[in-house]
Amino acid sequence: MSSRTFMLRPAGLGLLMLMLTLSADQLSKYWILYGLDLPARGSVKVLPFLNFTMVWNHAVTFGMFGGLGGAGRIVFSAIALAVACCLLVWIFRTHSKLTAACVGAITGGAIGNVMDRVRYGAVVDFLHAHAFGWSWYVFNVADSAIVCAVCMLLVQNFLAGGQQQDNVKTG
């Protein structure tokens, strides 16, 4: 099978999305840390509703489980890697290109955040959306990819009307 044929299959598309998400996440974090030097600057206004604000996230979403201290780095990384392995199995078993692409984006985002925990001891968060007195938590490209892909999977499932659309390979 040629590489072109593989890329047209769901697994190929899923792996492509994984690599694109992981690359975009890691390149954006590298630029934030070393190009823009956001740790020294703290926060930079980008648009009236968006700032780059440096946050080292030692916990998980919304600061949950932050009380684990240094062990959190190992626990969160191990859990994320176990989930990523399960997601890789899903990518290779699905017949749906949309499912494979979404699961690939989720996997790439999860791996990107694990890489941060291993390299820096915390996840690099820097996107800060705000408007009209409302402020969202600070997040990164990996987080965005995960949330968008999960939403797409939910919409896909909802539109399927309870019918099994994925037709996962067995055996």
Give the contacts of 76 (CB within 8 A, at least 6 positions apart).
Answer: 60, 65, 68, 114, 117
Q: What is the Cα–Cα distance from 31 to 105, expressed in whole angstroms?
A: 21
| 119 burial via Cβ count (<10 Å: 0-12, 13-18, 19+) | exposed
155-162: list long-range contacts, CB under 8 Å, 24+ apart: 156/96, 156/98, 156/99, 156/102
The residues that are catalytic are 125, 143
User: Would you state the structure tokens that stand for residue 35, as one six-digit string?
Assistant: 């190009």
Q: Are 88 and 107 in contact (CB under 8 A)?
A: yes
- Angle subtended by helix axes 141-159 and 10-30, to nearest 10: 150
